[in-house]
Structure 1
């Protein structure tokens, strides 16, 4: 029982880290898109 709980908790932590990474990547993509828009406007 205890081992299963630890395994489940570890799995949950990995899922949260994965989601955080995806969110970070989405934020970075948005920032890059804005930068590209600004650069194309200036050119």
Structure 2
């Protein structure tokens, strides 16, 4: 059960990254914005 959930999350994240950006640079920017959002939420 846990393995299925983990696999589903990995597939979802991969899908979001692929659909949200067309280049490696875009992927880096998306990851950076995600990290900044996490930092804002944590503070």
- Normalising by structure 1, we get a TM-score of 0.49
Q: Compare CA radii of gyration and give the structure with the larger one.
A: 1
Structure that is richer in helix per residue: 1
